[in-house]
Amino acid sequence: MTPSSLAEYLHFAFDHRFPVLIKGKPGIGKSDIVSQAANATGAELIISHPVVSDPTDYKGLPFPNKKGTADFLPFGDLHKIIAAKEPTIFFLDDLGQASTSVQAACMQLLLARRINDHKVSDAVTFVSATNRREDKAGVGGLLEPIKSRFASIIELEVDAEDWINWALVNDMPIELIAFIKFRPNILTEFTATKEIVNSPSPRTITSVGRQQKAGLSYSLEFEVFKGAAGETFAIEYSNFLTLYRHLPSLDEIIMNPHKAPVPDDPGILYAIGNGLANKMSEQNIGSISIYLKRFPEENAFACMTAATIRDRSLRNTKAFIQWAADYPSFLN
């Protein structure tokens, strides 16, 4: 599933208390999607990390009783999911990295929805995430009874359009968004390795964007990008930034949309389109829409889509309505 499809399915699963296991490459947003889905449905989110836990974290702590034996007493998060009155998501993150003994301790939770003599609240939904064995992330596999307990095992796939839509409303640098539009496959070029280097993924590329937004010096960019998302990414993105930073003035394009030059280079087209999308407002959309009529249709549509995702009020302007009327396929 793509991220947007997974988010839709999680809303359904949460509503019906279906346990779900999500698997996929490292850094593609599994944990973030669960967190966002929980927030969107108004559920409390409890995040547990089996890989750094002990079996007693899921069975309870042994405590002597008056009979001279011991009971396993629920504590911490276990007590919360027993006492939960409101919708609650109990998220077992990186479950595949946990030891067999910890997975076995989780089994009672998932199979019987019990912690020894204590019943887990009906308000609780279990969700888990794991990397795959081929990702070299320390995943040894999952016990069969655990796998079969989940209502569905979903493999999350990277989707450039979903990442771009997320980036547009989460303050990512417009030049990074333009680069991903120009080179969407780079989001999927994660390579598992034993070397201490990073590869491109939604997580590592987002890290690049956050450092840019924080004011990273141009002189440090290449080495920082290399460390964040790998050398191949750093080379390509640094070259794209050099191109982007020598674009024609966007203000001049807006001031003179009939005569401003329209470049032939695909990379420059993507860069200008995204730059205009970032600057588009109710005051200048008319001028920009005139310039976009001289653009290749694919690039014009991409620009207008990005602008209206960032600011949906632009769809109510007279200029947008006229532009959409001239390009009826845009709304299809």
Q: How many domains in the chain?
A: 2
Does 234 lie in the same domain as 150? no
Does 164 lie in the same domain as 144? no
Does 182 lie in the same domain as 286? yes
Does 201 lie in the same domain as 255? yes
Does 319 lie in the same domain as 216? yes
Q: Please give the DSSP secondary-structure letter assigned to residue 20.
A: E
In angstroms, rounded to a whole number, what is the distance separating the alpha carbons of residues 35 and 12?
15
Which of 23-27, 181-185, 235-239 shows the highest mean pLDDT?
235-239
In angstroms, rounded to a whole number, what is the distance separating the alpha carbons of residues 47 and 125?
12
Q: 227-253: per-residue pLDDT in tens? A: 999 999 999 999 999 888 877 788 889
Is the pLDDT score of 181 beyond 90? no
pLDDT interval class at 39 (50, 70, 90):
very high
Does 323 lie in the same domain as 250? yes
Does 269 lie in the same domain as 180? yes
Does 257 lie in the same domain as 244? yes
Closest to 205 in 3D by CA, of 189, 218, 216: 189
Does 150 lie in the same domain as 198? no
Does 283 lie in the same domain as 254? yes
| H or E element that contains 301 | helix 297-310
Q: What's at 301, amino acid-wise?
A: F
Mean pLDDT of 36-48: 94
CATH assignment at residue 129: 3.40.50.300
Given a contact cutoff of 8 angstroms between Cβ atoms, the answer to whether 303 and 270 are in contact is: no
- Note if the pTM is more than 0.85: no
Bridge partner residues of 218 (DSSP): none
Q: Which residues of 252-268 are buried (b: 16+ CB within 10 A; e: fewer)?
A: ebbeebeebeeeeeebb
Q: Is 72 helix (H, G, I), strand (E, B) or coil?
A: strand
- Containing structural domain, residue 326: 160-331
How far is residue 214 from each of residues 136, 145, 203, 209, 271, measured CA to CA in Å? 31, 46, 17, 9, 21
Given a contact cutoff of 8 angstroms between Cβ atoms, the answer to whether 106 and 54 are in contact is: no
pLDDT interval class at 69 (50, 70, 90):
low
Given a contact cutoff of 8 angstroms between Cβ atoms, the answer to whether 175 and 274 are in contact is: yes
Last residue of a domain, one of 125, 155, 185: 155
Last residue of a domain, one of 124, 155, 186: 155
Q: Output the pLDDT for position 153.
A: 95
pLDDT interval class at 332 (50, 70, 90):
low
Does 50 lie in the same domain as 78? yes
Last residue of a domain, one of 113, 132, 155: 155
Instruction: Name the token pair of 60.
Output: 């309870």
Q: What's at 65, amino acid-wise?
A: N
Does 124 lie in the same domain as 49? yes
